[in-house]
Amino acid sequence: MNFLTTPEAPLAPADSALSAEAFEALYREHWPAIVDYLRFRVGPADAADVAADAFAHAWKARGQYDPSRGVAAGWLWAIARNTANAWFRGRPQAAESLAEGLAMDASLVDLAARAESMARVAEAVGRLGVIDQEIIALRFGGGLPYRDIGDAVGLTENATTARLHRAIRRLRIALEGSEVP
């Protein structure tokens, strides 16, 4: 069954800003990275479900996509980020923190080897601000370039780069024994 033509999600009208074919290409290109990013945000157990919700929201909103405001990938990543935030709002018992995802993610072995333990890394990341956690998750969980991260969080590419470097510097300080400022 084709994801784009189910009875619940009919094809976009002819005047849609994002055609069914363009959406399908976006889906194929970004699904794996969005699931990886969401593993950081919501944990491995719920990542695929939240990603599916994000793509369903994007499918329904594809007629509102405005190419003059940025590339479709940035629009899609912003929807994924907003869907993750909504997931947390619906679960008051869930701790909205990148720290839990980092603690469970086996793909960060290199980062853990540089630190004393993955728990220390997760704790240090958990003390960063929400936007810095988002930038780290989008960069290292989603593998996005700085421009796309900036589009997703509403910052310029330069501001995104600077924030990531400052966040990493604060993580290094925290992991060396100092407190995160």
Nearest-angstrom CA–CA distance, 74 and 78: 6
The pLDDT value given to residue 41: 84
pLDDT band for 140, please (50, 70, 90 cuts).
confident
Q: By the 8 A CB rule, do 84 and 42 touch? A: yes
- In tens, the pLDDT along 118-131 reads 677 778 888 899 89
Q: Could you give the CA distance from residue 165 to residue 144 in angstroms, rounded to a whole number?
A: 15
- Give me the pLDDT at residue 180, please: 45
Task: Write down the mean pLDDT value for the chain.
Answer: 78
Contacts of 153 (CB under 8 A, 6+ apart): 78, 81, 131, 134, 135, 138, 160
Give CA 175 to chain center in angstroms.
Answer: 24
The pTM of this model reads 0.60
Segment 65-116, tens digit of pLDDT: 888 888 888 899 989 999 988 888 777 555 545 555 555 555 545 544 544 4
* Alpha-helix runs per DSSP H in the chain: 20-42, 47-61, 72-89, 98-104, 109-114, 118-126, 130-136, 146-153, 157-175
Structure tokens at 96: 């909205």
More confident residue, 137 or 17: 137
Residue 53 has pLDDT above 90, yes or no: yes
- pLDDT tops 80 at residue 4: no
Tell me: the pLDDT tens digits for 27-37?
999 999 999 88
C-beta of residue 47 within 8 angstroms of C-beta of residue 38:
yes
Cβ atoms of 59 and 19 within 8 Å: the answer is: no
